[in-house]
Amino acid sequence: MYEAVHHKNAGSEGQNSASSSPRSIKNSLSFILDEAPGDKRTASSAELDESSASKCLRPSVSANSISNLLAPAVDENDVRNATRATTPSGRKSSKYCIVEGCVSRAKHARRCWKHGGSVKCKVVGCRNRAKTKGVCWSHGGGTSCSVDQCTTIAVSNGVCWAHGGEPVKRLAPSVTISDCASEVFCTRFSPDGKLLAAGCGDGAIRVFNVHDGKLSYTLVQPQSSLGFGLPCTAIRFRPLTSATKTKNVLLAASSNGSVEHWHITSGKCLNAISNNQNQLYALDYRADGAMFATGGKDHAIRVYDEATKAEVACMDSGHGTLTAGHSNRVFSIKFVPEDDNTIVSGGWDNTLQIWDVRVGHSVRGIYGPHVAGDAVDMNTRGEILTGSWRPENPLEIWDFGSGKRLTTVPWNQSAIRSEPCFLYTAHFSRSNTGQQLIAAGGSGSNEAKVFNHDSNNKLVGTIAGLSHGVFTLDFAASDDKMVVAGADAAIRIIDIYDHVPGEKSRERPTTPSIRNAHLPHENLTRLASPALSAEALRAPSSPLHRMAVHDA
d(CA 548, CA 527): 9
| The predicted structure's pLDDT at residue 21 | 37
Q: In the prediction, which pLDDT does 181 show? A: 86
The CATH classification of domain 169-516, taken from the options 2.60.120.10, 3.40.50.1970, 3.40.50.12500, 2.130.10.10: 2.130.10.10
| C-alpha closest to that of 469 among 437, 422, 514, 426 | 422
pLDDT on residue 168: 80
Contact predicate 216/235, CB 8 Å: no
Q: Running along the chain, 552 residues long, what does each successive block of 10 average in pLDDT?
A: 34 37 38 38 33 35 35 40 40 60 64 58 59 49 56 56 68 90 96 96 96 95 62 96 85 96 96 93 96 97 97 93 92 96 98 97 97 98 98 98 97 84 97 89 96 93 94 96 97 90 49 36 30 26 25 32
pTM above threshold 0.75: no
Residue 117: the pLDDT is 57
- The SS3 assignment for 114 reads helix
Is the separation of the CB atoms in 496 and 479 below 8 Å? yes
CA 508 to chain centre: 21
| pLDDT, position 134 | 55
Q: Are strands 268-273 and 259-263 parallel, antiparallel or unpaired?
A: antiparallel
Residue spans per domain, the chain? 169-516
**What is the rounded CA–CA span in Å between residue 306 and residue 549?**
44
Q: How far apart are CA 534 and CA 498, in angstroms?
A: 29
3-state DSSP call for residue 285?
strand
In this predicted structure, what is the pLDDT of residue 368? 98
Residue 166 to residues 36, 142, 531: CA-CA distances in angstroms? 20, 17, 24
Per the CB < 8 A criterion, the answer to whether 129 and 154 are in contact is no
Provide the pLDDT for residue 172. 92
Instruction: For residue 322, count CB atoms less than 10 angstroms from its CB and return exposed for 0-12, middle for 13-18, buried for 19 or more.
Output: exposed
